[in-house]
Structure 1
Amino acid sequence: MKNLRLLPVILLLGIMLQSCAVVRPGEAAVKQTLGKLDNRVYVEQPVWYFPFTTRVIKTSIQTNNLELSLNIPSKEGLSINSTISILYRIDSENVPQVIRTLGLEYESIVANVFRSASADVCAQYFAKDMHSGMRSEIEQQIKERMNATLYEQGLIIEAVLMKNIQLPPGLASSIERKLQAEQDAMRMEFVLQEERQEAKRKIIEAEGTRDAQQILSEGLTPQILELRRIEAFLELSNSNNAKVIITDDESSVLISD
């Protein structure tokens, strides 16, 4: 009899356990009652529902990484083999819309939208641009085109990353030779610039020396030279030591005692 009394309690606990769904971090959930999808979104919380008429649909709202390997066209008509990573997520507020329009298997839709967007964007660039600093510009344009298609449907493209770009062997060698030639030209320009600066410095130094000599020669007139000679003789005559001063016929002669 005692076990029979506990039976309803056990059944009630079982129904309660089956009537609760736990939405974990990184997930979002919505209720579907008799086939009709509710617009309320549940995030990181328990969700109570009546299991006989209602079910809880959960999906991830974390950032997903979709990696693709495909050939993309270039402006000159070449086919470039590339590995692409697409980072995307569901906007938590638009989970009901995503489930209604795209369903939970939306990865193939993202891949198809990328193929279309990448073909349109990459066809505007040369193959060498995908192997240079313009890669980030190409990635940004592909991302914008994908968001233009998917954002209104509840999917957000966070980044498009072109990781491995494999150019045709002949083109890759040509690009490497061109880049090496550009680096050599830049290095030579740097050396020439240093030599020009050194030559300018020497010219300025030579002009300064010449100007100083010119100023000095222009300032030493015969009268000044004679005055300097007299001053020198006077200084010598004031000395207590015995001395003999000899000059030529054109110079002044000072005889000391």
Structure 2
Amino acid sequence: MLFILASLAAIAALFVHINAKKKFNKAEATFSLIGFLVALFIAFAQLFTVIPAGHVGVIDFFGNVSDNTLYPGVNLVNPLANVVKFDARTQELKEEMTVPSKEGLSVQLEISLLYSLSFQNANKIYKTVGEDYVDKIVVPQFRSVVRGVTSKYEARALYTAEREKLAKQIEQELTTLVGPRGVTIEAAALRKITLPPGLTASIEEKLKAEQESQRMQFILEKERLEAERKKIEAQGISDFQKIVSQGISEQLLKWKGIEATEKLANSPNSKIVVIGSGKEGLPIILGGDK
């Protein structure tokens, strides 16, 4: 529309300029010339459009939407067409809602959805949904999916590590619904969960009991392993003693006794050595300096 108005203004200014020159009216001719140049510049500028970074443009020519989308930067377009600009950057949708659990309990949930518009499918979503696609498809589908998923889980699952699994399921189901329309789901994060007070206390007690049970199992397993270690150690000592006892003979003992006697006899503390008077014929050592 602006292109048409600027073009008409340029034609009118040119017409005034020509008439002013014929009448030798220099002031009117000068002003009309300036008006002509300004209007011509405005009309020429309509041949180009600037798409900001992180945005995408859709060309709507009197209801005929082009299959080609405009990417960030300067783009040459039909001056008579309307360029609709969409924000394709990551957007955050925050929702606070009351959702049902598998047991039928009401849970207060605060959840964030990160999504973005696909560059390639911007024209599709403009043709099928419109510029307010967030309010028409993203928000309703998001709320519906969250309630549907939470109803499959017990309330305690929202309070434990299973919440990550729940969030992932919300993301997957929502992607199935709005992904083909041109909306990319990046993440669904559970920010805050408020359970009924009595249920919260019950869950905390149960988790505490489970942790205590796991701790006792760890202690029992540790004691079992320690008992097993001692058993193996005792078995090793027993086997060693058997091997040593089998290797010691009467002749070896006598020989070791003779060697010990020789060492004692050579010791400066030895006094009297009686040969052959001891048990098994071993020497007897009597006396000795302290």
Normalization by structure 1: what TM-score?
0.86
Q: Which ranges in structure 1 are unaligned for 5 or more consecutive residues?
A: none
Distance 1:22 1:162 in 2: 38
Q: Secondary structure at the match of 1:38?
A: strand
Q: Is the 8 A contact 1:49 1:55 kept in 2?
A: no
1:204, CA displacement in angstroms?
A: 3.0
Instruction: Tell me the distance in 2 between the aligned counterparts of 1:36 and 1:158.
Output: 31
Task: Say whether residues 1:56 and 2:83 are aligned partners.
Answer: yes
Is structure 2 residue 229 aligned with structure 1 residue 201? yes
Q: Give the alignment partner of residue 104 of structure 1, picking from 128, 131, 147.
A: 131
User: What is the rounded CA distance, in whole Å, between the counterparts of 1:97 and 1:236 in structure 2?
Assistant: 109
1:225/1:105 CA distance change after superposition, 3 Å = same
SS in 2 for 1:39: strand
| Secondary structure of the corresponding residue to residue 116 of structure 2 | strand
In structure 1, how many angstroms separate the alpha carbons of the residues matched to 2:114 and 2:266?
A: 99
**1:87-142 CA deviation, whole Å, 9 max, x = no partner?**
11111111111111111112222111112222222221111112222222212222
| Aligned sequence identity (%) | 33
Residue of structure 2 in register with 1:126 after alignment: 154
> Which residues of structure 2 form unaligned runs of 5+?
1-25, 285-290
CA positional deviation for 1:215: 3.8
Secondary structure of 2:153's partner? coil
In the aligned structure 2, how far is the partner of 1:249 from the partner of 1:35? 127
Alignment of 1:108-187 (within 5 A): 108=135, 109-187=137-215
Task: Tell me, yes or no, if the aligned pair for 2:265 and 2:273 is still in contact at 8 Å.
Answer: no
Alignment of 1:62-77 (within 5 A): 62-77=89-104
- 1:12 positional shift: 0.4
Aligned equivalent of 1:252 = 281
How big is each residue's C-alpha offset from its partner over 1:173-195, in whole Å with a ceiling of 9 and x where there is no partner? 11111111121122222222222
Aligned to 1:90: 117
Bigger relative contact order, structure 1 or 2 (CA pairs below 8 A, ≥6 apart): 1
Q: Is the 8 A contact 1:76 1:126 kept in 2?
A: yes
One-letter amino acid of the counterpart of residue 164, structure 2: S
* CA RMSD after TM alignment: 2.7
| TM-score (structure 2 length as normaliser) | 0.77
CA distance change for structure 1 residues 207 and 83 in 2, over 3 Å: closer, same or farther? same
Per-residue deviation at 1:58? 0.8
SS of residue matched to 1:124: coil
CA distance in 2 between counterparts of 1:189 and 1:18 reads: 76
Counterpart residue identity of residue 150, structure 2: C
The structure number with the bigger radius of gyration is 2
In the alignment, does 2:20 pair up with 1:20?
Answer: no
